[in-house]
Amino acid sequence: MSLINKLIRPFAATGSQCIWPGLIEAYRPFLPVSEKTPVITLQEGATPLIPVQSIANRIGRGVKVFVKYDGLNPTGSFKDRGMTMALSKAKEENSEAVICASTGNTSASAAAYAKRGGMKAFVLIPDGYVAQGKLAQALVYGAEVISIKGNFDAALEIVQKMSDQYPITLVNSVNPYRLQGQKTAAFEIIDSLGDAPDWLCIPMGNAGNISAYWMGFKEYFKHKKAKKLPKMMGFQASGSAPLVQNKIIKEPETIATAIRIGNPVNREKAINAKIESKGEFLAVTDEEIVEAYKMLASKEGIFCEPASAASVAGLLKRKDNIPLNSTIVCVLTGNGLKDPDCAISNNDAVFHIKVENNLDVVAKTMGF
Ligand X SMILES: *Cc1c(COP(=O)(O)O)cnc(C)c1O
Residues near 173 by beta carbon (within 8 Å), at least 6 away in sequence: 82, 106, 179, 206, 208, 209, 265, 266
CB of 302 to ligand X, least distance (A): 14
Choice between 106 and 169, CB closer to ligand X? 106
- Candidates 277, 182, 191, 183; CA nearest to 229 is 277
Choice between 4 and 243, CB closer to ligand X? 243
Choice between 137 and 169, CB closer to ligand X? 137
Choice between 7 and 150, CB closer to ligand X? 150
CB of 70 to ligand X, least distance (A): 8
Choice between 258 and 322, CB closer to ligand X? 258
CB of 214 to ligand X, least distance (A): 12
CB of 222 to ligand X, least distance (A): 23
Report d(CA 41, CA 24) in Å as an integer.
8
Lay out the sheet containing 49-51: strands in order across: 49-51, 64-69, 327-332, 199-203, 231-237, 280-284
Choice between 231 and 269, CB closer to ligand X? 269
How many Cβ atoms are within 10 Å of 238's Cβ, its own excluded?
A: 18
Positions touching ligand X (CB under 6 A) are 77, 79, 105, 173, 203-209, 258-259, 305, 307-308, 333-334
Report d(CA 84, CA 243) in Å as an integer.
28
Residues near 247 by beta carbon (within 8 Å), at least 6 away in sequence: none
- Candidates 324, 257, 309, 252; CA nearest to 107 is 257
CB of 331 to ligand X, least distance (A): 8
CB of 304 to ligand X, least distance (A): 8
3-state DSSP call for residue 240? strand
The residue at minimum Cβ distance from ligand X is: 334
Q: Is 192 exposed, middle or buried (0-12, 13-18, 19+ CB in 10 A)?
A: middle
